[in-house]
Structure 1
Amino acid sequence: MTVTASRPRPRPDEVARVTSTAAELLEVLWGRASTAPASASQLRVLFVLEHQEGINLRTLADSLASTPPSTSRLCDRLQAAGLVERVVSATSRREVRLYLSRRGRAFLDDLRIRREHELRAVLDRMPAAKRTALLTGLEAFCDTAASQIHHDADSSPRSA
């Protein structure tokens, strides 16, 4: 019997603490890969738009726990940088839909490549069995988190 097999099941608070520490370490590692020309707040907008393509400004503001005017200013700057496109809704001229531009997608792709380079330097030093366990756990976490985010977005009140 291995030590891992006899380890008691971790409590959610213990896993949350370690996950928070991991997220903080990721921020340090990822800080080595500049996010310019996007700020941290703008980067959050890009990530939301990538996963909820074509949402309106109010829904985006709700997703960011922000106000529509602040979110609109963020989108103004992202549009000026060529990272976001605004498209008038086909059903209502008053509603504007938000999309990542081709340049926005390329920016996120490039950022991910640079971030993954920083991660590989750490992962290369981990034993293969630990990498496998990490991958399994992270896949489950990502599936659950994405489901929760989509559920929250679906249950939030919407208006144009």
Structure 2
Amino acid sequence: MDTDQILELRTLVQKFIRLFGLLDPSVTPCGYPLSVSQVLALQELEKQTLTVGELSDKLHLERSSVSRLVDSLVKAGFVRREVNEKNRREVLLFLTEKGKNSIGTVRTQSVRYYQSILNGLSNQQQQQILQSFRMFTDSLSKMRGESE
């Protein structure tokens, strides 16, 4: 890829970030009143119980940022902290019922939102977008040394 194409890709990614609403910290792209980082944290905790350090690794955020993020989720009643009985120095993070319900709502709203974006495209175009995002995120994962 030449420099002009790379700069075009950068411009397109930046446009995507703006149009998708990723710059507004008060709401998800699908309109749920939480930040994207808060929802991503809840989604990770839906999969498994984590420590702040583990959540920090999954979100690719500094531990101090994740601590503040978790504080906001605990304060809002989405997450609870509990000392690990097996290792009293560790604090485990769990979703509350409110957190579980919120993730369900976000999932439903997201499906509607993504469907509305894809509605004007053919099935083939939708598959092309899916494949392209897969390739792009796989490349990012490899660059960061991730296996996911």
1:157 is matched with none
**Match status 1:46 vs 2:46:** no
Percent of aligned positions with the same letter in both sequences?
Answer: 24
Q: Distance in 1 between matches of 2:53 and 2:85?
A: 17
2:100 counterpart residue number: 105
Aligned position for 1:34: 31
Could you say which residue in structure 2 is the equivalent of 1:155?
Answer: none
Cα drift, residue 134 of structure 1: 0.6
Partner of 2:15: 21
**Matching residue of 2:89:** 94
**Bigger relative contact order (CA 8 A; separation at least 6):** 1
8 Å CA contact retained: 2:78, 2:99: yes
Amino acid at match of 1:17: T
Q: Which moved more, 1:122-131 or 1:139-148?
A: 139-148
Query: 1:65 — aligned with what?
Result: 62
In structure 1, how many angstroms separate the alpha carbons of the residues matched to 2:78 and 2:127?
35
Change (3 A) 1:148 1:110: farther
Cα deviation for residue 95 of structure 1 reads 1.0
Aligned residues: 139
> Which residues of structure 1 form unaligned runs of 5+?
1-7, 153-160
Greater radius of gyration (CA): 1
Is residue 127 of structure 2 the alignment partner of residue 124 of structure 1? no
* Corresponding residue SS for 2:146: helix
TM-score by length of structure 1 reads 0.62
Distance change (3 Å), C-alpha of 1:40 and 1:129: closer
Asked if the contact 2:28/2:36 (under 8 Å) is kept, the reply is: no
The residue aligned with 1:158 is none
Gaps of 5+ in 2: none
Offset of residue 133 of structure 1: 0.7
Deviations 1:11-50 (A, max 9, x none): 555434323322322227x7574332x3455334324534
What is the CA RMSD across the aligned residues, in angstroms? 3.5
Alignment-derived partner of residue 140 in structure 1: 135
1:79 and 2:82 matched: no
Q: Normalising by structure 2, what TM-score? A: 0.66
C-alpha deviation, 1:117, in angstroms:
1.5
Mean Cα deviation higher: 38-47 or 83-92: 38-47
